[in-house]
A and B are shown apart, each in its own frame.
Chain A
Amino acid sequence: MITILVDGIAYGMLLFVLAAGLAVTLGLMNFVNLAHGAFAMAGGYVTVVLVNRVGIPFFAGLPIAFLVSAAIGFVFERTLYVHVYSKNPLDQVLFTIGLVFMSVAAVDYVMGSSQVFVQIPNYLKGQFDVFGISIGRYRLLIIVLCGLLTVALQFILAKTRFGSRLRAAVDDSRVARGLGINVNWIFALTFAFGSGLAGLGGALGAEILGLDPTFPLKFMIYFLIVVTVGGTSSITGPFLASLLLGICDVAGKYYVPSLGAFVIYTIMIVVLIWRPQGLFSRVGSR
């Protein structure tokens, strides 16, 4: 029972780290970045190459995955995405899907189409028992890491100057601009940070979710579910939505395996009909 709960939380946390960047992009610029998964994939593959082939330690690989994905995100944002913000949403869909196709084929070309895994250190494998409850070590690591990240994120958003500017920009970018906040710059940084988070998520998730070139397509649906169910006006919304989905999905599969795939979709539809703007959106925002 507790084991299932822990699994669910770990899964949900992972989803959150993967999708957090997307939520911010969507909330800030009203821009649906379907290529978000590609940044996650980049982080995953960077870790695979570094850890498996170059042989650097797993824990050193994680921050590098973050930095590389963030750098790629930053470059792409500055060179390509900026030209697309002003286009209509359908063009944005076309553009980001195009990027996904390109990333899928390019990774296939460079890395091959088979699934790959990161070699995690031995002490992270297996489970340990706490009062008769078995908890997976790697899952616990995910929970701890993602938990820390969430706290850090929340701190940055709520307490720092950057955070308050970001919140101002999300709430009303025109007024924020008027107040002399450089919204474009904030956005580029946020985009890079979100991509970095996705990359970190990809690196962490490779062990559990598997990693192959179709990753951005396969998980696009999951990211979108998290973001729509959670709403885009805050970071807590997607966080709670991720946890909810993770736990419901895992518990649903455990207790009623015959309904397996239905659980997550049904939750989504019910939530969206009940709260079209997302479960945790504040009234009054976009």
Chain B
Amino acid sequence: MMSKYVTGAVAALALGALATGGAYAQGTVKIGLIVSMTGQQASTGKQIKAAVDLYMKQHGDTVAGKKIEVILRDSGSVPDHTKRLAQELIVNDHVNIIAGFEITPAALVAAPLATKAKVVELVMAAGTSIITEKSPYIVRTSFTVPQSAVIIADWAAQNKIKKVVTIVSDYAPGYDAEKSFTERFKSHGGQILQAIRVPLANPDFAPFLQRAADAKPDAIYIFVPSGQGGTFMKQFTERGLDKAGIKLIGTGDVTDDDLLPGMGDAAIGTVTAHMYSADHQSAANKAYVAAFEKANHFRPNFMSVGGYDGMHLIYAALKKTKGKADAESLIAAMKGMKWESPRGPIEIDPQTRDIIQNIYIRKVEKKDGQLYNVEFETFKAVKDPVKAAKK
């Protein structure tokens, strides 16, 4: 492990030297990393950027004789801006891979470009199911929302939760989360008392929570975009719903590792299903979290592993193609790729190019004075349920 850091440090020095010396045109594989570093989604962008940097620091910037160059662009989560940046990266900078994409419309707007220019589009964050179907060159290393939503529905049904109120944000991933959960939960004989949708730009959850509480469910199922979880959690306990015996379940977005430490004891006991927790018990993850926290001042969250594994996928694919960086070879190499990620074993589905991974059921607990999502049940090798259902 130690030697890895030493080589990493050497590589980082080499990177610095090269960056000033100018990049080679030949023998370089360029990755256009388009994430939002400013605006509402900035925390996601920073997580991904930090993970990408970390991977390159650990593994060097040369693979299969090719130098890896990452060009970072700020999308500000604006789709048409994203498209222009992607287009410029492809046309002017001749990138081989465009990566990043923290919101669904950004990933979708770039899809025709990937197809037309024959460039790999590596989705490191956005979680709507349909994305990978929009171009044969799209690969995803993050997750799909239904993966987690369906699993938590299974778990809820097995654990004596009968009546549920769903609260989701009023936009596409929210609908995905609501639909997948509801269908699966009902198929187990569960009952949805109410389906509430809250406006995306919503400063105050109080009235929605009050409405949910008045319906007297066994549990509230929640999906909010990464970043709003904290506010929700605070208001959930403020309302005393935890004391009224109402459980809180959801996808892992609500107990985002990035925000969890700041949520306070309010979050304790929340049960969520997701693919990554900073508390995941494996050697790979311990090393990852330690290195990540050392390099940054925050904890890695589920978005960061999308970036980290995305880089791994690129490196591994390049090794397999022996440095050939055209989209056809890369995609062929990426399909069916399996490896051990900090989140556990993962695989790129050869058919859909989407990710297959374990989904863990976790409960928020306090460990050494810090809040963590502690995993206690594992659903192995979960495929995207939406695409699986289509077959």
Interface residues of A (CB under 8 A from B): 3-4, 7, 11, 52, 104-105, 108, 112-117, 119, 125-127, 134, 136-139, 207-210, 212-214, 218-219, 222, 249-254, 257-258, 260-261
Contacts and interface: CB of A to CB of B under 8 A. Distances in A.
B263 to A, nearest CB: 7
B294 interface: no
B93 interface: no
Contacts, number: 114
Contacts of B297: 112
Contacts of A7: 204, 206-207, 210
Nearest to B36: A113
Interface string B318-359: 000000000000000000000000000000000000000000
29 contacts: A4-B207, A7-B207, A104-B38, A114-B43, A114-B262, A114-B298, A116-B262, A117-B234, A117-B263, A117-B264, A126-B240, A127-B239, A127-B240, A136-B206, A136-B238, A136-B239, A208-B203, A208-B204, A209-B231, A218-B203, A249-B204, A252-B207, A253-B208, A254-B210, A258-B197, A260-B170, A260-B199, A261-B199, A261-B201
Shortest beta-carbon contacts, A-B, top 10: A253-B207, A113-B42, A254-B207, A261-B199, A210-B231, A127-B240, A113-B43, A114-B43, A260-B199, A7-B206
Contacts of B197: 257-258, 260
Contact of B237 (A126, A213, A261): A126
B262 to A, nearest CB: 5
B39 interface: yes
Interface string B10-51: 000000000000000000000000000011101100100000
A285 to B, nearest CB: 31
A52 to B, nearest CB: 8
Given A115-B43, A209-B204, A222-B203, 17 more contacts: A7-B210, A11-B206, A108-B42, A113-B46, A114-B259, A114-B262, A115-B228, A115-B262, A117-B230, A126-B243, A208-B206, A253-B208, A254-B208, A254-B211, A257-B196, A260-B199, A261-B201
A273 B197 CA distance: 30
Best-surrounded residue of B42, B196, B266, B298 (most CB of chain A within 10 A): B42
B206 A210 contact: no
Contacts of A126: 237-238, 240, 243
B235 interface: yes
Contacts of B161: none
Given A108-B42, A117-B263, A138 B238 contact: yes
Nearest to B195: A257
B61 interface: no
Interface in B215-266: 227-228, 230-231, 234-235, 237-240, 243, 258-259, 262-264, 266
